[in-house]
Amino acid sequence: MAPAGRTIEINDVIYTCLGKGKWEGPDGEKLNWIEISAMASALGNKKVVYEANADGTISDDEDGRMDIAEQEFYDKALALANELKEEAYEIGGDFRGPGYEHKLMLQVKDAFKKAKLKLR
């Protein structure tokens, strides 16, 4: 559940979390988290903006946490890439390894697509 003060923008309308699953619209209307989720889902999250801070500012620790997350995910991705290549060549050797590497990469690509993430 979102903490009190978090905002969500749906179709250019800002809703503020009051805590405990309660939300408030700009005109004071009260909604619960199910109603907010339904509105966001109906749009496919295409016009939905989530803010960690109610005023849209960056948290004191946000930059540092992002720096750490970037390094951690890079390390995990590099380890996965190395493991994928090693496994493909262990199975197929120098002859079939490149083809198996490609097949395994397609699995990674499909997983990212299923999670609605794009690799640039």
Domain membership flag for residue 78: yes
User: What's the Cα-to-Cα distance from 92 to each of 56, 78, 107, rounded to whole Å?
Assistant: 51, 21, 17
How many Å apart are CA 116 and CA 120, to the nearest integer? 13
Q: pLDDT by residue (tens digit) across 2-21? A: 778 888 788 778 888 888 88
Contact criterion met (CB below 8 Å) for 6 and 59:
no
- Tracing tokens 């990674």 back to the chain, one arrives at 108
Q: Averaged over 87-101, what is the pLDDT?
A: 97
Mean pLDDT of 27-55: 73
DSSP structural state of residue 52: S
What residue numbers bound the domain in which 78 lies?
60-120
> What is the reported pTM?
0.54
φ/ψ of residue 93, rounded to 5: 65, -170
Number of domains present in the structure of the chain: 2
Is there a single domain that holds both residue 80 and residue 118? yes
2 inside domain: no
Whether 71 and 120 map to the same domain: the answer is yes
Same domain, yes or no: 31 and 66? no
Q: Is it the case that residue 47 has pLDDT exceeding 60?
A: no
* Same domain assignment for residues 35 and 66: no
